[in-house]
Amino acid sequence: MKIKQYKSGLRVVVNTKKDLDIVSFRIFVKAGSCHEKQNQYGVAHFLEHMFFKSTPKHSYQQLSTLFDEMGTQKNAYTGVCNTCYYFKCLLNTFDKSLELFSEMFFNEEYDAQELSNEKKVILEEYKMGNDDTEKKCITNAYRSLFNNTTFEHDVIGTPQNIKAFSQQDLIDFKKEYYLPHNMVISVSGNVSIAQVEKLLKKHFSQLFDGEFAQEFKLPPYLTLNPKTQFVVSKKDNEQSTVYILMDLGKKTNRQMYVFDLLFAILGYGMSSKFFNIIRGEKALVYNIDADTTTVGDNNLAEIMFATSTDRVGEALTELLKIFKACAEGEITAEELEKSKNKYIAGMVYSTETNGGITMRNGSDLISDNKIETFKQITADINSVSLEEIISCAKEVYINKNYVVSAVGKCQRKDLLCFKH
């Protein structure tokens, strides 16, 4: 793996794999929903949609045909903290794929009719999200936990903003954030960094121009006032979906590995405590998951399950019992060892494809300004002690900064069974 930073601030990371003539390319831009002002909510996502539309050289139908003729697969997504545009192609079409991709990336002449049509498309996506029970549950939890912060609103924005966005709104946002020092390009495949650099200077020459004076930084970490909230959104489903979102506070990478392992013990896989007890012994759910995540500088834990409405309180009571037992030391060395092995294996599996490698390298570099090696991570994981895990479990059990969000026919009083 090679990393190079240029005078413009652009960073490029290349992982050379000579076993397959395939190339994966991703460009990360540090511009997501958390960078938007209130009247801009949804603009980062809208801009990402317009990436796939017509340019002065080609209609969007022609672009799609050209990519399909080469077998090149392209896509993009918008997140809270960054936006990513990516494709994978055969080695012999990398040059042409990159040429077309750059044409789309730098385009700022959006067709008025296509802009109007895309508003309707995104409004349908918005409605689809509202109909998605799990997504609704998560959106409500984030809105509650991050109230009055830049992380409060959903990536897709509001219907009012979606309808009002103009071509100039998109261009203004792009000019403010789509700058070389806010970008990382991540490549993996049968190419060297020298070959990648040559092609980038050919097709993305604008990103090498000038020198950057200052780097845009994410909004500072916002200490959330301790709060326990219980939120219900009514929906006439047979089951109620429950999502628990917990703020863990600001942690170092090493500290987060302890939380990662704890929540792997609790909710990762069919041998986890949640699965064995909540599903296996109590037969309360079909599935239950637990994980940790990071949004900006916010370290979070999350749990999700669905169950019959009249069993929501019982499921939450059992969850709380498990948290209490872990805080009191009911975690074994064998469980810790198993979670370490699962974590390390999952890390390796995530990079078995070029796409996985470009995703990991690019997202780490754009978010943390560094890429930890597998050797470093493995050493940190293996150094975690059982005492640290139990201490972490105690911290989680007494945590008062969380939201329990539900969508279904359950009542708010059902969620209070998790109050501790």
98 falls within a domain: yes
**343 and 274 inside one domain:** yes
Q: For residue 218, tell me if it sits in a domain.
A: no
Q: State whether 250 and 174 are in the same domain.
A: no
Q: Could you tell me if 13 and 147 lie in one domain? A: yes
Region of 253 please: left (phi>0), alpha (psi -120 to 50) or beta. Answer: alpha
Give the end of a domain, one of 154, 180, 208.
208
Instruction: Report pLDDT for 420.
Output: 77
User: What are the tens digits of pLDDT across the range 221-277?
Assistant: 455 666 789 999 999 999 999 999 999 988 999 999 999 999 999 999 999 999 999
Statement to judge: residues 118 and 246 lie in one domain? no
Read off the pLDDT of residues 180-224 as tens digits, 9 standing for 90 and up.
Answer: 999 999 999 999 999 999 999 999 999 998 776 555 555 554 556
Q: Do 413 and 310 fall into the same domain?
A: yes
Residue 252 belongs to a domain:
yes
Please state the rounded mean pLDDT for residues 293-311: 94
> Has residue 221 been placed in a domain?
no
Are residues 63 and 190 both part of a single domain? Answer: yes
DSSP 8-class letter at 330: -
Say if residue 264 is in the same domain as residue 133. Answer: no
User: What does pTM read for this prediction?
Assistant: 0.93
Cα–Cα distances (Å) from 312 to 241, 267, 285, 333, in that order, read 9, 18, 10, 31
Residue 82, in any domain of the structure: yes
Domain end call among 174, 208, 242: 208
**For the chain, what percent of residues have pLDDT higher than 90?**
89
Task: Based on the fold, state whether residues 241 and 348 are members of the same structural domain.
Answer: yes
Strand, helix or coil for residue 240:
strand
pLDDT at 110: 93
Least reliable range by pLDDT among 33-42, 165-174, 206-215, 387-396: 206-215
The confidence score (pLDDT) of residue 148 equals 83
**pLDDT above 90 for 399:** yes
Supply the DSSP string of 85-132, one letter for each residue.
EEEEEEGGGHHHHHHHHHHHHT-----HHHHHHHHHHHHHHHHHHHH-
Task: Say whether both 105 and 197 belong to one domain.
Answer: yes
Write out pLDDT tens, residues 59-80: 999 999 999 999 999 999 999 9
Question: Residue 167: phi, psi to the nearest 5?
Answer: -60, -40
The tally of domains found in the chain comes to: 2
- Answer yes or no: is 219 within a domain: no
Same-domain check for residues 257 and 194: no
Last residue of a domain, one of 145, 174, 208: 208
Does one domain contain both 204 and 262?
Answer: no
On whether both 145 and 251 belong to a single domain, the answer is: no
The residues, ordered by sequence, that sit 6+ positions from 176 with a Cβ below 8 Å of its Cβ are none
| Residue 120 in domain | yes
Pairing of strands 22-29, 83-90: antiparallel
**Residue 294 scores a pLDDT above 60:** yes
Cβ atoms of residues 25 and 13 within 8 Å:
no
- Looking at residue 415, what is its pLDDT? 95
Please give the residue range of the domain that contains residue 68: 2-208
Q: How far is CA 19 from CA 26, 188, 322, 379, 380, in A?
A: 20, 11, 46, 28, 30
Q: What is the pLDDT of residues 214-224, one digit of tens each?
A: 555 555 545 56
Please report whether residue 262 resides in a domain.
yes
Find the DSSP H helices in 268-307: 273-274
Percent of residues, the chain, with pLDDT higher than 70: 96
Q: What is the pLDDT of residues 9-20, one digit of tens each?
A: 999 999 999 888
CA 74 to chain centre: 18
* Residue 297: pLDDT band with limits 50, 70, 90: confident
Mean pLDDT, rounded, of the chain: 94
- Which CATH number characterizes residue 165's domain? 3.30.830.10
